[in-house]
Amino acid sequence: MMMEMFANKFPEIAEKETRCILMPYGKDLPEGHYYFPESFCNDKECDCRRAFINVIFEEEPIATIGFGWEDLKFYEKWANDKSMAKDLKGPILELTGIRTKYSENALSLFKGVLMQDKLFLGRLPIHYKMFKDSLSDSKEDEAAYESEDFNPDEHTVISLCRGIGTGFEAITDTNREAFYPIIMAIEEEIWSHYLENDSFKDSEVIELLKNLRDNILSEEVSFNMLEKEIIRKIKVVLFLNDYNQRDLSLSISSVLKSAKLHKSMGGNRGYLTFISHFFEQMKK
């Protein structure tokens, strides 16, 4: 399950219906415009009935809020876990979302204003249904069908990279979602390996990511078994999406940066613990 912006599917509607709050000068949040663009789960088999709402101050993201509009009983049944239902319904600051020094106050703003806005709350399930319905278009189904016959071993990474790609020169908080397919493919394979080998350490992850970053486009460098599995996953992602060599390099570097950061904060398995928690939550 990945979250995708509603604006990706319906840009004109999003432009008209994305909520904006103009805040005067105050002690809790800076003066200016606060936008609340919506994202929904792009797994068409999932019916979570939730939205991720990034809070954007002028052009700077400051928080990610998770919110479900159904009652608690729905989320208890959906998650099969009563203890999780309250968080799924929210509104809460999402664990895997954007966090800044303004996040708590942004959540208070959301609760105080948008949770009282019946028009906004009424539009969320409508936008959700529109988004979900759009996932079953024939082009996507055709791509899924074609992927069944795709053999990664018959292609090189460089041959699968497209010329245009995302067009981004760097990964930022505002465009990170565009790179999620590559990032998630890498991290899910690392996580799967860790589940089978609990002696795996962040230092090993960092070394393999460095090797991939520096050599993934080469056909002359040898890779270990895990690296080869990651490359196979990446090839599938490249086959199904329009990414170029820069996009691939940026994505691998982003995962490497995350691994280094969480190792520095959490010790030998800080990063592995972090992604394990994330994927376990996703499975639930």
Report, as an integer, the average pLDDT of 269-284. 83
Q: Which tens digits make up the pLDDT trace of 254-275?
A: 999 999 999 999 999 999 999 9
Distance CA 54, CA 36 (A): 6
Convert the pLDDT of each residue in 241-256 to its tens digit.
Answer: 888 999 999 999 999 9
Q: Cα separation of 174 and 96, whole Å?
A: 14
Residues 150 and 236 sit within 8 Å (Cβ to Cβ): yes
Question: What is the b/e burial string over 88-117, where b = at least 16 CB atoms within 10 angstroms of the residue's CB?
Answer: bbbbbbbeebbeeebbebbbebbeeebeee
The answer to whether residues 271 and 202 touch, using CB atoms and an 8 Å cutoff, is yes
In whole angstroms, give the CA distance from residue 90 to residue 36. Answer: 16
The residue extents of the domains of the chain are 3-131, 152-283
Of the candidates 137, 242, 241, 177, which has an alpha carbon nearest to the alpha carbon of residue 38? 177
The DSSP call for residue 117 is: -
Q: With 0-12 CB in 10 A as exposed, 13-18 as middle and 19+ as buried, what is 215?
A: middle
CA distances from 34 to 23, 37, 57, 60 (A): 7, 10, 5, 9
- Has residue 101 got a pLDDT over 70? yes
pTM for this entry: 0.52
What distance in Å separates the CA atoms of residue 42 and residue 23, rounded to the nearest whole number?
32
SS3 (DSSP) at 37: coil
Q: How confident is the model at residue 136 (pLDDT cuts 50, 70, 90)?
A: low
**Residue 95 pLDDT greater than 90, yes or no:** no
